[in-house]
Amino acid sequence: MKPQIAATGNGLANETILSVNNIEVVFNEVILVLRGLNLKVARGKITALLGTNGAGKSTTLKAITNLLATEDGEVTRGTITYEDDDVTEIGPEALVRKGIFLVMEGRGILQDMTVIENLRLGAYSRPNAKINEEIEQVFKYFPRLKERTGLAGYLSGGEQQMLAIGRALMAKPKLILMDEPSMGLSPLLVKEVFRIIKRLNKELGISILLVEQNANMALHVADDGYIMENGKIVLDGTAEELMANEDVKEFYLGGGGERRSFKDIKSYKRRKRWL
Amino acid sequence: MGHVPNPRPAGDFRTSYVDDNRMFKTHFEKYAALGILVAVMIAAPFLGNYWVSQLIVIGIYAIAAIGLNILVGTTGQISLGHGAFFGFGAFASAWLATSFNVPTLISMPAAALLTTAVGMIFGVPAARIKGLYLAIATLASQFILEDFFARADWFSGGVYGALADRPDIFGYVLDTDLSYFYLVLFWLVLSVIGVTNLLRSRDGRALVAVRDHYLSAEVMGVNLTKYRILSFGISSFFAGLAGALFGHYLEYVSVEGFTILLSIQFLAMIIIGGLGSVYGSILGAAFILLLPQLMESITSVMAVAFPAMESGKAYVKQMSIGAAIILFLIFEPEGLVHRWQQIRASWKLFPFSR
């Protein structure tokens, strides 16, 4: 029997819930997108995965959840392990039953359904759930969703994002993968969403892999961080370490380091190569 | 519940999430539906044979349309072979009744189950393909089944067709149109209740999710392949049931009756009625069947005024269906049901509505 570990136990920070080992993803059998990516998500922690557009963040999530097939991509090398099981080949709907839930980029809520129907659908993988009680639980985190009785398509962007996260909670996952929860939201709403993400992590002990463009916000709520470029991880560490790192400050957080002029553009290029 | 039902729609709102998920959203809807049902049942004996036979055919087509609506409206797939499944139900029921002496009342649902199996087999390509490609794949089912009807003498009687007796209930034969009408109405009501309940269940939500956002459905744990094929099965069930009712109504099933034209008519019914709406399917079926007759009476009147039109009467009738579909696609793509909802909304807000 596996040792029972409290999800938020501080002493066991290194226990890994998900590990991605050296995966390589190829699209259309020719386009190499991920080239040997390594990643670990600690149990009960928030792990941020940062990077610029086109770095391969979303592809990483699709590789984990096995959604690549719909885009003609495949994992050609490496393995993905979740709680000591190899899940490299396991389809998305089976992963939900194992406890991994993906909150998709652009939310992916069902516009023609009401808020409540969306939430009920979130519990699809648990047919015997006490859905009504759990919906109330979700409303505790997202009180403003309770006021919305119409179709989900009429919600504002922020509310839709909250619904997408609430829907994930209905599946009672152990690990939530979030693809850009801040997309298209105003700075205040971004703050609110991230505050809720942090609460979910602390109060429910859900491990979270957070894929973000907004490095500043993401590193503030995260425990660990990875920075990816060009299909591989170029830097990793705890969130504090990353926030203190000069390169990260300069390229992702803005501000940090000494002010540079255009003359230094060459050194920018050179310095960017961490590995 | 101690709540006095309000006869008017005003003030009778959905007020909770539980209400939202009910079969009838408001009391008014519930009593309106029951009222129409009772009115039709009481009125039927006074309508005369012609209108009763019209109602029977509308009811039968409505059952088939409800089935197709699950496939097209709810799950977002397409089938050009619904007419052939309808025919398969008719032949299967006649075959069960004549070859195995199965009582007709049992052979009808049994035929529906057989059609479900056939539909799921032909639905297998849907697991992989979508849109136009799926349309062509289902076209194949139409032609394969049509050919099967013509050649499988043991099953369908081949080109001679098959005889299908009227059902009897403990010795009482439903040989009048009126008695048969009540049988059709019984199945129609059962279909409406069944499908409405399906749509508000876990499986119904999964079907809608497959239509609206299949990736999202997949990451929530919905097995796409299963539901795509299942929706073919469910829609074929109703096609088979309707076909069986049709066969035993005409008492003779002929090979020529189930061409692609019928399949397209079914599609027209649900588009005009309203995709994804159960009541829309019924309205659409009524519309498609009554429109040609309406056009015929209009053209007859016009032919009196313009004798030159006499020769064109037949064309006008056919063309009107095509025109209706085009007009609906342009002006009311959400169908008759949507138009009805708008009329209702404008009543509710009367002095302030446009």
In a domain, B236, yes or no: yes
Give me the sheet containing A16-27, strands edge to edge. Answer: A31-42, A16-27, A73-82, A85-86
**CB distance B219–A121 less than 8 Å?**
no
**CB distance B219–A65 less than 8 Å?**
yes
Q: Which residues contact B202 (CB under 8 A, 6 or more apart)?
A: A120, A124, A127
The tens-digit pLDDT sequence of chain B (354 residues) is 334 333 344 556 666 666 666 667 667 778 888 899 999 999 988 988 999 999 999 999 999 999 999 999 999 999 999 999 999 999 999 999 999 999 999 999 999 999 999 999 999 988 888 889 999 999 999 999 999 999 999 999 888 889 998 988 888 888 899 999 999 999 999 999 999 999 989 999 999 999 998 889 988 989 999 999 999 999 999 999 999 999 999 999 998 889 999 999 999 999 999 998 999 999 999 999 998 888 888 888 888 888 777 777 777 777 877 888 788 888 888 888 888 888 877 777 777 765
Please report the pLDDT score of residue B324 as a whole number: 80
Measured between CB atoms, which of B17, B206, B213 is closest to A124? B206
Cβ burial B237-262 (10 Å sphere, 16+ → b, else e): bbbbbbbbbbbbbeebbbbebbbbeb
In a domain, B309, yes or no: no
Over residues A163-170, mean pLDDT: 93
Q: What is the DSSP letter of B219?
A: H
Please report the pLDDT score of residue B94 as a whole number: 95
In a domain, B219, yes or no: yes
- Answer yes or no: is pLDDT of A54 > 80: yes
In a domain, B82, yes or no: yes
Please report the pLDDT score of residue B185 as a whole number: 95
Q: Provide the domain limits for residue B223.
A: 27-259
Residue B315 distance to chain A (closest CA, Å): 40
Residue B281 distance to chain A (closest CA, Å): 19
- B171: left (phi > 0), else alpha (psi -120 to 50), else beta? left
Please report the pLDDT score of residue A264 as a whole number: 55
- Between these two residues, A91 and A13, which has the higher pLDDT value? A91
Q: Which residues contact B14 (CB under 8 A, 6 or more apart)?
A: A149, B20, B25, B26
- Answer yes or no: is pLDDT of A10 > 50: no
Please report the pLDDT score of residue A100 as a whole number: 93
Interface with chain A: mutation pick from B13, B211, B219, B338, highest number of A CBs within 10 Å: B219
Interface with chain A: mutation pick from B14, B15, B216, highest number of A CBs within 10 Å: B216
Closest CA to A137 of A169, A94, A98: A169
In a domain, B348, yes or no: no
Question: Which chain B residue is nearest to residue A112, measuring alpha carbons?
Answer: B212
Question: B220 to chain A: which residues are within 8 Å by CB?
Answer: 93, 96, 101, 121-122, 124-125, 167, 171
Quote the CA–CA distance of B117 and B123 in Å, as a whole number.
Answer: 10
Quote the CA–CA distance of A160 and A165 in Å, as a whole number.
Answer: 9
Q: What is the DSSP letter of A4?
A: P
Instruction: Say if residues B167 and B93 touch (Cβ distance below 8 Å).
Output: no
Share of chain A above pLDDT 90, in %: 49
**CB distance A110–B215 less than 8 Å?**
no
In a domain, B323, yes or no: no
Instruction: Say if residues B275 and B334 touch (Cβ distance below 8 Å).
Output: yes
Summarize pLDDT for A144-157 with one digit per residue, the tens: 888 888 889 899 88
Please report the pLDDT score of residue A141 as a whole number: 92
Question: A209 to chain B: which residues are within 8 Å by CB?
Answer: none
Furthest CA-CA distance within chain A: 65
Question: B223 to chain A: which residues are within 8 Å by CB?
Answer: 93
Which pair of structure tokens corresponds to residue A254? 């803005």
**CB distance A104–B216 less than 8 Å?**
yes
Question: A121 to chain B: which residues are within 8 Å by CB?
Answer: 205-206, 209, 217, 220
**What is the interface pTM, i.e. ipTM, of the complex?**
0.79
Please report the pLDDT score of residue B182 as a whole number: 94
Measured between CB atoms, which of B20, B213, B218 is closest to A92? B218
Question: Which chain A residue is nearest to residue B15, measuring alpha carbons?
Answer: A149
Over residues A128-146, mean pLDDT: 89
**CB distance B220–A117 less than 8 Å?**
no
Please report the pLDDT score of residue A47 as a whole number: 95
R_g (Cα) of chain B, nearest Å = 21
- Give helix then strand counts, H and E, for chain B: 15, 4
Q: What's the predicted TM-score (pTM) here?
A: 0.84
Please report the pLDDT score of residue B14 as a whole number: 63
Instruction: Say if residues B284 and B65 touch (Cβ distance below 8 Å).
Output: yes
Question: B201 to chain A: which residues are within 8 Å by CB?
Answer: none
Residue A15 distance to chain B (closest CA, Å): 25
Question: A93 to chain B: which residues are within 8 Å by CB?
Answer: 218-224
Please report the pLDDT score of residue A149 as a whole number: 80
Position of tokens 């990793």? A236
CATH code: domain A17-258 is: 3.40.50.300
Please report the pLDDT score of residue A6 as a whole number: 43
Please report the pLDDT score of residue B16 as a whole number: 63
State the pLDDT confidence band at A80, using cuts at 50, 70 and 90: very high
Number of domains in chain B: 1
Instruction: Say if residues B83 and B265 touch (Cβ distance below 8 Å).
Output: yes
